[in-house]
A and B are shown apart, each in its own frame.
Chain A
Amino acid sequence: GAVVSQHPSRVICKSGTSVKIECRSLDFQATTMFWYRQFPKQSLMLMATSNEGSKATYEQGVEKDKFLINHASLTLSTLTVTSAHPEDSSFYICSAIRYKGGTGETQYFGPGTRLLVL
């Protein structure tokens, strides 16, 4: 099946620094990717929709200047947490949509990135 990877799988950083998380679709092209945030034992909350070649669409309440999203190619979207603070510590998950003629579209999830800000 289709695979979506994320890198790094976990990262620890100091407060005030920036962290970049990569999301790659390994065997298909994805014009649309999504970024989610998940706190322990809670649901996934959509942060933004990443569109290849255009600006990301952010959900209400998500600071676009803090969570920078770049979707520069059909297989890569990046999420940069700028000036990270301890409250940004969370599990970040990306997903990508794959289009396939017979089965339509399917959304595949990455394995997630655990961010800890000290």
Chain B
Amino acid sequence: AQTVTQSQPEMSVQEAETVTLSCTYDTSESDYYLFWYKQPPSRQMILVIRQEAYKQQNATENRFSVNFQKAAKSFSLKISDSQLGDAAMYFCAYRRNPRAGGTSYGKLTFGQGTILTVHP
């Protein structure tokens, strides 16, 4: 079974600074997806960024970028120029590629989450 571990229960950052959230995972699969989701106080889950395991290039979305180290099974999220609106709980998630078949199609495995506080 796949596991996702976020070892930082809480992180804080000053507005306009950069922060990195850590995530490691364990899987025997070679083809999968990794995600970072944001859950603000409204509790609506928002997709921040997605990485396909077979792509070596790290995904980026504006101020958000990842450092994907497949061999180390590490997938960290870097938030640059932090804004007050970035304050939320962040979840790292894993999903096996549906092309691989099987019954776990579409299922997401989430990490424990990291609460990010942004100080003005």
Q: Which residues of A contact B (CB under 8 A)?
A: 32, 34, 38, 41-46, 49, 57, 91, 93, 95, 97, 105-107, 109, 111-112
Contacts and interface: CB of A to CB of B under 8 A. Distances in A.
Contact of A112 (B44, B47, B113): B44
Given A49-B107, A106-B47, A107-B47, 20 more contacts: A41-B113, A43-B91, A43-B110, A44-B45, A44-B91, A44-B108, A44-B110, A45-B110, A46-B107, A46-B109, A49-B106, A57-B103, A91-B43, A93-B45, A95-B45, A95-B108, A105-B98, A105-B106, A109-B45, A112-B43
A45 B112 CA distance: 10
B64 to A, nearest CB: 17
Contacts of B112: 42-43
A50 B27 CA distance: 24
A42 B113 contact: yes
B44 A107 contact: no
Contacts of B89: 41
A111 B46 CA distance: 10
Place the interface of chain B in its size category.
10 to 19
Contact of A107 (B108, B110, B113): B108
A43 B106 CA distance: 18
A34 B42 contact: no
Interface string B90-116: 010000001000010111111111010
Interface string B60-102: 0000000000000000000000000000010100000010000
9 contacts: A32-B105, A34-B108, A41-B113, A43-B110, A46-B107, A46-B109, A49-B106, A93-B45, A111-B44
Contacts of B105: 32
B115 to A, nearest CB: 7
A11 to B, nearest CB: 15
Nearest to A32: B106
Nearest to B44: A111
Interface string B22-34: 0000000000000
